Amino acid sequence: MQKVAAYLLERTETLQGLDARRAEGERIRAVVEAWLNKEKGASSSSESGAYAALDGSDARYRVLAESSGDRSWTMFELTEVTADGRRFVASVSVTVGQKSVVLFVTLEVGLTATQVNRIYADPRCPKVVRKLLAEPGTWHHDKSRLRGGISNAEGFDEGEALALEIQNAERSIPFVVVSALDGAPVLRGLDTALAYDLAGLANVYSVDEAASWALTDTLKRPFSCHSGAIRIYWPRFSSQDDPYRHQMWTALRLRRLDGDDQRALERIRGQVRKLIMMASAASVVRPREIDDIRSAAARSEYAALKEKASSLEDFKSLADSYADDNDSLRRALAERSSELEQLRGEVSRLEAEKQGLLFHLGRAKPPSEENDGDIEIEPDLPEQDDEDVRPPNSGEVRFYKKKYSAPTHDVFIRVSDCGHNTWQGATKADKAKKGIARMEGDKQDWRTVQHCSNCTGGGMWRVQW
């Protein structure tokens, strides 16, 4: 079996007391049981049984529960086997721990027979995850708060605040930013669709033009996201990162995904969903408290059996119990070893793809305008011109166009000469000078700063360094 997605949602607020954690655990388990009963047609009052799968697969479930002192763990496991031998397993566990209540969800796929074969899988967010995110209360993944639905960033100040969140070293989930073009996403409903698909794994932000310029101003151009583009900002963001690490799709690339906007929307949804789910499968770690609870419960059970054992038959039963548990542990260890090998193979594959992409970018000719609809388009990469990012040389003349005014400075982009010859001195343009300095890495050793009296729409500036 190969893990294709993993979710970790934690509740800690107002759960300092044992009674509060127990009550919250019961409430969450009730939501999961209702999902299992109403959505899947199962009877979670039984420890195992069958349910009706939507595609007619052979579908069964089981419920496991362990407790140790004040802590408890309950797992709902659903397995579906298709007619062609594909197996899908969804595991939903609720853990009441020492300090928090944790929901841990995994999605796995595999085959019932041994064969070297590709397995098509298009995993989706389990409905129970969205249900729990919609419940009252706050969920976290480690240090990051998980937000259900879309978060809107409107205006320069909110854009700056989002940029600071992106730069937060303790952020533990991806941020997906959808920028507006003419007041809306380039593919209608793209932000809503991505928020639906990525619930519990990433936070999705819809940003207007002013907010997107704030991102550019704060994160700098190689990490920008504007004019209808979308971008994934992975955790541990650094300005020293390779910009290619944080995938971006421009508005042009999104439109080229398919001639039909609805099909293009579905294609980009699939690409982003697959990318982030694959990352979660490889990086989300099973809570250690689950194994602690199960180990402690097993030790208690063995101790009770030893106390009751008074005959050879009793000790035989105890030995059989030990043997069964050892067999289970060996199988679990074998599965984990197999999973580790798969992940190592995945790392090697991704590294090879990265090297191939870098070679392609360095050697290949630009792609043609036509695109085969059956070929998955790779995420667009940020445009970066060495001429744009190098510092200005002494005596060099550069031109800047104002795009937006922030509270303390103006936001500029580099442009060519406007062609006018009406440059005027600008001795008091403090916000403009601050904006130009920020764009050039706080460099301020210019000789002259001049403003074009003919240009409108923000204005043109000519700077001799």
DSSP string, 301-326: HHHHHHHH--SHHHHHHHHHHHHHHH
Could you list the pLDDT tens digit for every one of the 465 residues in the chain? 889 999 999 998 888 889 999 999 999 999 999 998 888 877 656 788 888 888 888 999 999 999 988 999 999 999 999 888 889 999 999 999 999 999 999 999 988 887 777 777 889 999 999 999 998 889 999 999 999 889 999 999 999 999 999 999 999 999 999 999 989 999 999 999 999 999 999 999 999 999 999 999 999 989 999 999 999 999 999 999 989 899 999 999 999 998 899 999 999 999 999 999 999 998 998 998 998 898 887 777 666 666 666 555 665 665 666 666 665 666 666 566 555 655 555 565 555 555 555 554 554 444 433 333 333 334 444 444 444 567 888 899 999 888 777 778 888 888 888 888 888 887 778 888 988 888 887 888 899 999 888 887 668 889 999
Determine the distance from the C-alpha atom of residue 368 to the mean position of all C-alpha atoms in its chain, rounded to a whole number.
31
- Identify the DSSP state of 371: -
Instruction: State the pLDDT at residue 45.
Output: 66
Interatomic CA distance for residues 377 and 271, integer angstroms: 9
Rounded to two decimals, the pTM is 0.73
Instruction: State the pLDDT at residue 364.
Output: 44
User: Both tokens of residue 13?
Assistant: 């607020």
Put the strands of the sheet holding 86-96 in their side by side order: 48-50, 58-68, 71-81, 86-96, 101-111, 2-11, 139-141, 144-146
Which helix or strand (DSSP H or E) is residue 111 part of? strand 101-111
Interatomic CA distance for residues 426 and 414, integer angstroms: 18
Dihedral angle, C-alpha 22, 24, 29, 31, nearest 10 ° = 160
Which helix or strand (DSSP H or E) is residue 97 part of? none
